Amino acid sequence: MKVEVQEGSTQIGLVISCPKLNDEVRDLASRVQGLCDQWSGAGAASAPDSGTAFSPGKLAGEKDGATFFIDRQEVLYCDTVDKRYFIYTEADVFETRLKLYELERLLIGPDAAIPSAPSDFFRSSKSQLTNIQKIASLRPDFNGRLEVVLTNGERLIVSRQYAKALKERLGLK
């Protein structure tokens, strides 16, 4: 692999050149995207335009063979099913190569238990991260759990382990 740095540009960017796009290259792009997400702000979800290897401040997700860059504010929640990782928005579901703990680091902070700045995301179960700004309502469920209804009408369960922290954060009991 060759790394080259060129000075004189008005923006910082990265292009990954490869003979053929494969899983290894996609994984590299996702990891670089993760690093960029730690340094940057956000924009709207969009398909990559020609010549754009990644877009800083967004999460990379795949759908129908294309890679999309998803604005954090558009994310309803992220979860894992059968060792596959997904990002859910109002309109779409994207698969990501980032593991849940990597998404947690990007969305909540390096120390998820003590985020350095308030985040819109919180751990809602061992397999799920939820955007607190997308919660329309919540109500108690069995065994200390909470049922949350998202702005799109989708219902999620917040496990007992994480329910108390959510209620405290929302200023409830």
The per-residue pLDDT for 26 is: 74
pLDDT in tens, the chain (173 residues): 666 677 776 666 777 788 887 777 777 777 777 666 555 543 334 433 333 334 456 888 999 989 898 988 899 999 999 999 999 999 999 999 999 988 988 888 755 444 445 578 999 999 999 999 999 999 999 898 999 999 999 999 999 999 998 998 888 87
What distance in Å separates the CA atoms of residue 56 and residue 4, rounded to the nearest whole number?
Answer: 19
Contact 66, 95 (CB under 8 A): no
The pLDDT of residue 95: 95
Q: Can you list the domains of the chain with their CATH numbers?
A: 23-169 (2.40.50.1020)
Q: Residue 110 has what pLDDT?
A: 58
* DSSP-derived secondary structure letter, 83: T
Overall pTM surpassing 0.75 (yes/no): no
The pLDDT value given to residue 47: 39
Q: Give the SS3 label for residue 139.
A: strand
- Structure confidence at residue 19 (pLDDT): 84
- State the pLDDT at residue 30: 73
Could you give the C-alpha distances from 127 to 44, 45, 82, 104, 168, in angstroms and in order?
A: 25, 23, 10, 11, 21
pLDDT at 124: 94
pLDDT of residue 155: 96
Q: What share of residues in the chain are helix, strand, coil (percent, to 5)?
A: 25, 30, 45
Structure confidence at residue 41 (pLDDT): 43
Answer yes or no: are the C-beta atoms of 82 and 111 closer than 8 Å. no
Tell me the C-alpha distance between 77 and 128, whole Å. Answer: 7
pLDDT at 126: 94
CA distance linking residue 148 with residue 157, whole number of Å: 6
Task: Give the three-state DSSP class for 9.
Answer: coil
pLDDT attached to residue 123: 92
